[in-house]
Amino acid sequence: MVKPPETTSTVIRTRGLGKSYGRVRAVESVSLDVRQGEIYGFLGRNGAGKTTTIRMLLGLARPTEGEIELFGRPLRRARLELLGRVGCLVEGAAAYPNLTVRENLELQRRLTASPRRSVEDTLRLLGLEAYADRRAGRLSFGNRQRLSLARALLHSPELIILDEPANALDPAGIVEIRELLRTLADEEGVTIFMSSHILAEVAQLADRIGIIHRGRLVEELDYESFRRKGRRFIELGVDDPVAAEALLRARLGFADIVRDDAGGLRVADVDADAGAIAKEVVLAGIRLHRLLQVQEDLEEHFMRLTGGES
């Protein structure tokens, strides 16, 4: 897990967050920190618990355990004040179909007590001027997605929570929205928490990534350094993996070692050196029959963490 530096303020903090529906544990012990001005990619397969987590962050679902803090204050106690600083797109695009794009935004403007010009500004920002007087029910899926994004951005929130923001957008639209989000984060310090199951989208945008699998946050990684260096590890096949693991921990001081089901070991410590590992293992009399240095990209990393099975 990557710990956020103490110097930046934390916008989202959850501790031991969990949600059960009857016997089904949708989210379990999720503790995450999202810093101000960063884009946090929340990755997971379908049904992994992404949307449930987002629903809890927005006060739409009540956690069965754990705490949520937004901007350093508990959501439970200051919901109204905190949600005024949040914009969201959750579980797909939606709008009142009988109202025009402009009227839909006007509703949001009134409900969030935003300035009058914010409607026209947001129409321009999302490239919706040409559709401003078209009824939302007659928009394409892509433009409805843009309208939902526009509603999320209209009141200039400090935190934007987006559930699958690229859904239904065409390739040019995806690039445009990506650039818009990047600008908001870099130039205005807006924090973006974005869930997705599209790895390429997250890979191009996120500063940090949290991977959720079967309701549990299995890893938080600093994607900036991951992107620069990739995730490197050493795989070795030995006849006695238990002894080899103990040896590497004791003699070389490695901490990030995982044993796989096939009797192999995976050493992911940054300073792991294949030569030193081979030497120690052979000198200890353990038979070494495989030694590989592997460089992982996000997709491989994600597939490995989430088991790879469908």
Partner 1 sequence: MSFPRVLGTELIKLKRCKVTWISWIAYSFIVLVCGLFMWIMKDPETAGRLGLIGQKARFSVGAQTASWSTLMAMLEQTSGVGGMIVLSVIVTYIFGREYAEGMGKYMLSLPLRRSVIVIAKLTTALAWFGVLCLSLVAEGLLIGAALGLEGFSWALFAASALRILFTSGLFTALAPAVAWVAVGSGGYLAPLGYSIFTLVLGTVFGATDWAPYCPWSIVPLLSGVAGPGSAQLRTGSALVLCATFLVGAFGVIAHLASADNAQ
Contact positions vs partner 1 (CB under 8 A): 55, 58-62, 79-84, 86, 88, 90-99, 103, 106-107, 110-113, 135, 151
User: In this structure, what is the dihedral angle of CA atoms 275, 280, 285, 286, given to the nearest 10 degrees?
Assistant: -70
Question: What distance in Å separates the CA atoms of residue 145 and residue 115, rounded to the nearest whole number?
Answer: 23
Question: What distance in Å separates the CA atoms of residue 249 and residue 270, rounded to the nearest whole number?
Answer: 14
Smallest distance, partner 1 to C-beta of residue 291, A? 51
Pick between residue 191 and residue 306 the one whose CB is nearest to partner 1.
191
Smallest distance, partner 1 to C-beta of residue 90, A? 5
Pick between residue 137 and residue 307 the one whose CB is nearest to partner 1.
137
Token output for 1? 């897990």
Pick between residue 107 and residue 303 the one whose CB is nearest to partner 1.
107
Q: Answer whether 78's CB lies under 8 Å from 69's CB.
A: no
Question: What distance in Å separates the CA atoms of residue 220 and residue 208, rounded to the nearest whole number?
Answer: 7
Pick between residue 60 and residue 258 the one whose CB is nearest to partner 1.
60
Smallest distance, partner 1 to C-beta of residue 303, A? 30
Smallest distance, partner 1 to C-beta of residue 11, A? 16
Smallest distance, partner 1 to C-beta of residue 20, A? 11
**Cα-flanking dihedrals φ and ψ of residue 224, to 5°?**
-60, -50
Question: What distance in Å separates the CA atoms of residue 210 and residue 255, rounded to the nearest whole number?
Answer: 21
Smallest distance, partner 1 to C-beta of residue 270, A? 40
Angle ∠(216,219,221) on CA atoms, nearest 5: 150
Question: Which residue spans within the chain are E strands per DSSP?
Answer: 10-21, 24-35, 39-44, 65-70, 73-74, 86-89, 159-163, 191-196, 208-213, 216-222, 231-238, 257-259, 264-267, 288-296
Pick between residue 90 and residue 174 the one whose CB is nearest to partner 1.
90
Pick between residue 167 and residue 306 the one whose CB is nearest to partner 1.
167
